[in-house]
Every structure is written in structure tokens, then in C-alpha cells.
Amino acid sequence: MGPLVSVLSLAVSGFLAFGAAFLASMIFWRWKSAALVGLAAAAFGGIGAALALPIILYRRQRAIDEPGEMEPQPSFDLREVTLVNENRSETSPGDVSLYRSPQAACASLEAWWVKDRDGAAITANGDRLVLAPTEPVSVRSREPHPDGERLVRLWLEALAGHLRKVRRDVGPLPSSVPELIAYIGFAD
């Protein structure tokens, strides 16, 4: 709810209180008392709106300036998050998928895909996963990749860019790897 709507609702509340107080005063007391009570109720609503506006604006600005404090941060382990690029060339992002763990990625792959080397798997911290073409697919080993961090960013940015078009989002994409992962979400 925007700050203007909040202030307007407080002002409307004040005027409703004014009307109710005016009617009650008119019924139970005299006209002079009704006017005084009604003015007091309207003043109370106006003071409430005036006091609420700076608080609302401060909280809104704080949410813009410090989004990390206002929103929960994603929790996942970059050593476990796995990206699969279904393209023979590692440097060209193809159909990229994002999984919570190597086991989840392996469960979605088929042995023939691994045997034909139709793509690659890498963890979000840049380790290459050497996959075994077994049924089900498994991780044979985990090796440091000399260009792993650059590939992770390249693959994530390609996937995020595609999702941005599909979702029709506007504005810049997230800048860090954890933010990109949170923006994209997991396939599993």
C-alpha cells in the first residue's frame, strides 16, 4: 500500500470520526458541543495522518535502500547448487537448468546424454562435475574448473535473461550469483 493511500485512509478515518462525533453530539448534547467534539475528532484524524506520513515514507525508503534487511535472504549452498548446460560447447549457454544438488541434476539426466557428451554440469561455485553414464546417472568426480566462475555467471545470466523475457520483467537483472539463483529458481 502506497504512502498516499495510507495517509488518505487516515484522513478519511478522521472525517468519519468527525461525522460520527458530530451526530452523537447533536443527538445527546447541543449544537455548540457537537461542533466542538466534531472538530476535535477531525483534528485527531488530521494529526494521525500527519504523524503517520513520515513513518510510512521512512519505512518505504528503507525498504528501497536496504532490501536485504526487509526481505529474507535465499539459503542454499553454492557448492551443491548445480547447473546443467545442454550444449556441447561449454562457453555457449544452451538449454541451462538449475538444480539444488548434483543428485537432483543426475536424476533428470539420461545415460545416453552423458555418454554422447551433449552438455556439461558445473556447481555454482565453479567445480566441474564429471558424470558417469550409468543408470541412474551419477557423479564420478568433482574437479576445480579453471574458468568455472565465469561459466557459472555466463550460464546463469543467459538463463535469467531468457526468463526475464518470458516473465516480461523490467529493470536490471540481479548482479550476484546468489541473487541470480534466487531470481531463476530451481528446476527440481
Confirm whether 93 is domain-assigned: yes
Percent composition of the chain: helix, strand, coil (DSSP 3-state, to 5): 55, 15, 30
Per-residue pLDDT at 106: 95
From 16, 42, 70, give the residue that closes a domain.
70
- Give the pLDDT confidence score for residue 61 in this predicted structure: 65
User: What's residue 69's pLDDT?
Assistant: 52
| Final residue of a structural domain among 18, 47, 70 | 70
CA dihedral 171, 173, 178, 181 (to 10 degrees): 110
Do 17 and 66 lie in one domain? The reply is yes
If asked whether residues 52 and 87 sit together in one domain, one would say no
124 and 177 in a common domain? yes
Same domain? For 92 and 131 the reply is: yes
Indicate if 62 and 107 belong to the same structural domain: no
71, 72, 77, 83 alpha-carbon torsion, rounded to 10°: -50
Is 64 in the same domain as 88?
no
Grid coordinates in use for 145? 574448473
- CA-CA distance, 105 to 83, in Å (whole number)? 8
Query: Given this model, what pLDDT does residue 133 score?
Result: 94
- pLDDT of amino acid 75: 80
Looking at the fold, whether 19 and 52 belong to one and the same domain comes out as: yes
pLDDT attached to residue 172: 87
Residues of the domain holding 152: 82-184
C-alpha cell read off for 112: 545416453
Same-domain status, 89 and 62: no
Sheet holding 138-144, edge to edge: 95-99, 82-86, 120-123, 127-132, 138-144
pLDDT tens, position by position, 87-121: 999 999 999 999 999 999 999 999 999 999 999 99
Residues of the chain with pLDDT below 70 are: 1-74
Q: What is the pLDDT of residue 57?
A: 65
